[in-house]
Structure 1
């Protein structure tokens, strides 16, 4: 089966400067789409949205999203895949469908922290046209349930860093959500399709890009709503071991200096995972 494409009325005539690219799998991006569409008037045609359903195979969700997309003021295209292609391939597919000169990657479980989110990105592109720019993460709107406390604490320490601090080590704080990439940069350094499943494809991409292009940091944060429980988080890291090995093989000198290197080696050792889960549960309690 081939990919199904749905465009709204505003899509055909649009000439955007920024393409917002939203991949999703078994997540409902409708809340994010609604929030972004509230800014349609303020960006005045400078922004389009492309959503990619990477094989969810949920006919009810697809029908709801098609209805929503057709009613949006922003130019929107929804691409629905019959089977999962993976995060790296999916993002490359999104980039191929984009028409803007700058690509804003945004995960479906993100929520802008203010109502100038798209306008600030569009203004930055018009003013500076940066090669790569990262807006930042926050936990401002994230759930505070006890079951998510470990993930919340980890994110607060490693990911939710003020832009003034991120700017001191720009290459260290680059993630593939709330990330703006100029088209020529992405064409020079696309995501490695050899990465499959969850994890590390964004880190590996950042290692390559930061060697060739300047990374700009700004205060335009969005909240990562998709916090995981201890067990879910441990499973993700366990499953990401092949991706980590691929990254380490390509960038051994950088990976060896990462604090996460020892942790990933531990996670790759299956016998150590039950102990890790117990320690994480203890921390959660």
Structure 2
């Protein structure tokens, strides 16, 4: 059963004719800082870009009131959709796309921060001049927190996520995440996110696998910083959630997944006797602050692979 929704539009929304819709889902986060950064480009954009935000069931009246006041002060045409209950990542993104009016959709998580002040202008220009089916701008860690508790995640993200656009283009479907992701509307209407995925992980990569079989996936250098680094415990919990999703991807796209290191390691670990008993040791090592960060990161990767080995 779908959650009920309250919709709030600012004064710029009704008359705008955007070419690009920026879609920002959030849950128990405050996207106010991101809105302020995007607003810096409002004058240069002159109505070509709109913002659509989805509060996926936070149920925080104070946050809603703050955001409503901020949105009313924005020059960027903006809509806020507030849900009474959580619907999940895939359904939420599909709902955002239904509310958008632009010919292209830019998915941008609330914990992202543009790395330069022509971020939206770059996307709008690409949309107008080339209208790619799918394009990913890339992640960085330029503005990410430096606290020691995030050191393992920072190390892992730098190695596997924050890659150059040339490197990402070598496996275009693999390096597609629903943050800083541009999708042309007709492509999204052809291939929406699968609501069968639950919890965290892999629904964006699985979507990209499907799309890449029919459309070109472009990679460019228009990065934003992923501010939401996790502790080891939080990241391990996400990996635990993601194991069934990984198995779902393996079943659907064995040809793509066969080239992924995470799959190859999981297949090897599957043959290890007593893996289930050994697996907690990988997680424990990742928690040990006395160990070098690269070793802790390697241990957490092994923990993830061991989870995946049991799922496939």
What is the CA distance between 1:211 and its match in structure 2? 1.0
Q: Does 1:232 align with 2:234?
A: yes
Give the match for residue 274 of structure 1: 280
What is the CA distance between 1:271 and its match in structure 2? 4.8
Change (3 A) 1:270 1:177: farther
Give the match for residue 260 of structure 1: 262
Q: Give the one of 128, 133, 136 matched to 1:131.
A: 133
Give the match for residue 205 of structure 1: 207
Per-residue CA deviations over 1:50-75 (Å, capped at 9, x if unaligned) read: 00011111111111111111111100
Contact 2:173–2:205 (8 Å) recurs in 1: no
DSSP-derived class of the 2:51 partner: strand
What is the CA distance between 1:152 and its match in structure 2? 0.4
Per-residue CA deviations over 1:128-161 (Å, capped at 9, x if unaligned) read: 1111111000000001111101100110011101
DSSP-derived class of the 2:213 partner: helix
DSSP-derived class of the 2:172 partner: coil
- TM-score, normalising length: structure 2: 0.87
The 5 A counterparts of 1:76-225 are 76-225=78-227
Q: Give the one of 46, 49, 57 matched to 1:47.
A: 49
DSSP-derived class of the 1:157 partner: helix
Contact 2:4–2:85 (8 Å) recurs in 1: no
DSSP-derived class of the 1:242 partner: helix
Unaligned runs of 5+ in 2: 297-312
- Paired residues, number: 284
Give the match for residue 77 of structure 2: 75
What is the CA distance between 1:262 and its match in structure 2? 5.2
Change (3 A) 1:247 1:18: same
Unaligned runs of 5+ in 1: none
> Which protein is bigger by CA-based radius of gyration?
2
- TM-score, normalising length: structure 1: 0.95
